[in-house]
Structure 1
Amino acid sequence: MAKRRAVISKKECVACGCCIKVCPRAAITVPFGVCAEVDYGLCIGCGKCAKECPASVITLEVNDEAK
């Protein structure tokens, strides 16, 4: 399991899909076009989505479950 994981601010996400395009593991989806969601079983914490997000609503946090 990854030591870091992407966390998306659901209140601020505009569902643009930029994060989906850069995720190497296809861990991000936008169900119903409302807000992006991360599948933590697939997320490797690489940070590409956070760098690409034009609204800067994706952060990387320490994954406490990875210990």
Structure 2
Amino acid sequence: MALKILDSCINCDMCDPECPNEAISMGQKIYEIEPDKCTECVGHYDNPTCVSVCPINCIIVDPDNIETVDQLAEKFVKLHG
């Protein structure tokens, strides 16, 4: 996963229903992205939908978890066979 939700998340609930992999869920305080399910929408859309619907731009690329498009595509195939 190369995306993460920052602590500035306001829990607006815009990202959760948009995620085609059901990778986003409510954590203890803010929404969180499950790395094993996040494909950054590869296989579904051209761009991550959670990023495009976030009203405060609190979903960013996680520099500690960069994945290539090929890795994300592999993950998509594993999730959706």
Task: Please give the range of the TM-score, normalised by the shorter of the 2 chains.
Answer: 0.7 to 0.9
Which structure ranks higher in relative contact order (CA pairs < 8 Å, sequence separation ≥ 6)?
1
In 1, are the aligned partners of 2:2 and 2:66 still within 8 Å (CA)?
Answer: no
Name the larger-Rg structure. Answer: 2
* Runs of 4+ that moved beyond 2 A: 60-67
Q: Return 5+ residue gaps in structure 2 as ranges.
A: 42-47, 72-81
**TM-score, normalised relative to structure 1:** 0.75
Counterpart among 2, 5, 11 of residue 2 in structure 2? 5
For these two proteins, the number of residue pairs brought into alignment is: 62
2:11 is matched with 15
Aligned positions of 1:21-32 closer than 5 A: 21-32=17-28
Alpha-carbon distance between aligned partners in 2 of 1:42 and 1:6, rounded to the nearest angstrom: 11
Alpha-carbon distance between aligned partners in 2 of 1:42 and 1:30, rounded to the nearest angstrom: 15
Q: Percent identity?
A: 27
**Structure that is richer in strand per residue:** 1
